[in-house]
Amino acid sequence: MGVDVRCGDVLFMDVHKPHANLPIVKIGSKEEQENVKRLSIVCYLRLNIWKQTRGKTRKFMERHNKTMKNLRAK
């Protein structure tokens, strides 16, 4: 299966199925082609992680995120 994903499109898929990217086909002038970049943002949510956050306050989550950020910086 192939999907023609264009600028501004969002693609949701089952990540447990085989998948891959094809090479980018650069079109336009040489200057435009030099500026072509692929940007992939991979977001996922594990069910058990989501369940653990239920009932937590925003203040708790902000404090937790700050703690985790500080740990990664060390």
Q: What is the pTM (predicted TM-score) of this model? A: 0.36
What integer pLDDT is reported at residue 44 of this predicted model? 74
What integer pLDDT is reported at residue 41 of this predicted model? 76
14-72 pLDDT tens trace? 878 888 888 888 888 998 888 888 877 777 777 787 788 888 998 998 998 899 899 98
What integer pLDDT is reported at residue 25 of this predicted model? 84
The ranges assigned to domains in the chain are 42-73
Q: What is the DSSP letter of 23?
A: P
What integer pLDDT is reported at residue 46 of this predicted model? 76
CB atoms inside a 10 Å sphere around CB 71: 8
- For the stretch 26-35, contacts whose Cβ atoms lie closer than 8 Å and that sit 24 or more positions apart, written own/partner, are none
